[in-house]
């Protein structure tokens, strides 16, 4: 049962302050303990698109590889604290501008392609399983 700040302060006879608010928030919000790694993301994306890690890291412009590579970079940007330059190095030794371009392409496609949006949700759900 989720308690509000006021209810919590009444039940525990405590004044409302920052410490109480932090305690209530910690109880209300589940924080994932295990952060995602770039390897988790690459593995999940490759599995979803049925491509190899080598293919994603290659210079190939084959459509399947490009989509998997762009999604990998997008999710790495979204779920890790790595700068674009580091993501690029780890995904096929690309530079930061390629990562930014990939993220832009994925965001644009998400706006117009519901099927692609569903794919991304499925991949993100797979990542959540890895985190648990």
Looking at residue 1, its pLDDT comes to: 41
Convert the pLDDT of each residue in 45-91 to its tens digit: 999 999 999 999 999 999 999 999 999 999 999 999 899 999 999 99
pTM beyond 0.85, yes or no: no
- Answer whether 67's CB lies under 8 Å from 115's CB: no
Looking at residue 132, its pLDDT comes to: 55
- Answer whether 39's CB lies under 8 Å from 91's CB: no
From the centroid of its chain, how far is CA 36? 8
- Answer whether 11's CB lies under 8 Å from 41's CB: no
Looking at residue 17, its pLDDT comes to: 82
**CB neighbourhood size of 73 (10 A):** 29
Overall average pLDDT of the 15-38 stretch: 75
What is the phi/psi pair of residue 119, to 5°? -60, -45
Domains and CATH numbers, the chain: 1-31 (no CATH), 38-131 (1.10.1750.10)
């Amino acid at each position: 049962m989720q308690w509000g700040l006021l209810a919590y302060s009444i039940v525990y006879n405590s004044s409302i302050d920052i410490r109480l608010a932090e305690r209530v928030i910690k109880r209300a919000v589940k924080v994932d303990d295990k952060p995602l790694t770039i390897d988790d993301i690459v593995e999940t994306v490759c599995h979803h698109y049925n491509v190899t890690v080598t293919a994603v890291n290659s210079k190939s412009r084959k459509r399947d590889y490009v989509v998997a590579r762009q999604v990998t970079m997008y999710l790495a940007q979204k779920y890790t604290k790595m700068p674009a330059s580091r993501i690029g190095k780890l995904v096929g030794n690309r530079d930061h501008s390629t990562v930014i371009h990939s993220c832009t392409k994925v965001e644009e496609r998400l706006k117009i392609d519901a099927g692609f949006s569903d794919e991304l949700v499925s991949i993100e759900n797979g990542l959540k399983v890895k985190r648990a």
